[in-house]
Amino acid sequence: MAYLVPSEFVTKMVDAGESKIFMSTRDTVIRAYMAGAILALAAAFAVSVNVSTGVPIVGAALFPVGFCMLYLFGFDLLTGVFVLSPLAWIDRRPGVTLGGVLRNWGLVFIGNFAGAFTVAVMMSIVFTFGFSSPPDKVGQIIGTIGENRTVGYAAHGAAGMLTLFVRGMLCNWMVSAGVVGAMISTSVSGKVIAMWMPIMLFFFMTFEHSIVNMFLFPSGLLLGGKFTISDYLIWNEIPTVVGNLVGGLAFTGLTLYATHVKTAPKRERQRLAA
């Protein structure tokens, strides 16, 4: 496993952010669509494993396969560009503007949601035999997840909103660590190992991931979950997106950039007393 030192892979992070900002609209949306679809399928897989085994750590241990696939294919998640794109602007790369960063975020959001929603519809068809039967056990569990993580938060009011936001922050701290993990090695095995660990952690801890939720909650609504679209948006998706942005950028992007690119001057050695 060829390892890159932090000063090298953080520079790669800035380069990646710059590349994503200047990518064409078509390519940005296609890559985001496929990322959302693959991650949604991985989420359905992990929930299915949890239901069949009754052991949540097994599903969490297997869920990262989807994340690894989409990043090895060069697809983009909103949680990743939340961290990478702003670094190119902060680094004052030529032609990079705040508007370009926001455009990139918007396009990736649209693509991720479209991909995740496509899989939500397809898996809902699978769980209900084309909506001709009640949801199977996995479908019922997905509906319950949607209820617990919308109206469940709402029942606690402001404290629930704070908890949701913090879980979103913690989620993208780990997910963005996985994004960076893909850059610290030049071998496929090294990339996969570095990505796998933080993604498994976030999924097992049930932190809030905006793109995973783009699959779970629309699926829950399609499968008869007892919550509404406004519940989903207000009591999950919007606070989760904000928490993902703050957590990933603050705890991963800015900290790595500050200490490995914009390093502070070294302290002078004190002369030994004569």
pLDDT tens, position by position, 7-35: 899 999 999 999 999 999 999 999 999 99
Which of 249, 244, 252, 251 minimizes the C-alpha distance to 211?
Answer: 244
The full length of the chain comes to: 274
pLDDT in tens, 179-223: 999 999 999 999 999 999 999 999 999 999 999 999 999 999 999
The residue-averaged pLDDT of 240-263 equals: 96
pLDDT-derived band at 3 (thresholds 50, 70, 90) equals: confident
Q: Given this model, what pLDDT does residue 271 score?
A: 59
Place of tokens 């796998």: 196
Helix (H, G, I), strand (E, B) or coil at 59: helix
Q: Given this model, what pLDDT does residue 273 score?
A: 53
pLDDT-derived band at 2 (thresholds 50, 70, 90) equals: confident
pLDDT-derived band at 269 (thresholds 50, 70, 90) equals: confident
pLDDT-derived band at 44 (thresholds 50, 70, 90) equals: very high
Q: 193: how many CB neighbours lie within 10 A of its CB?
A: 15
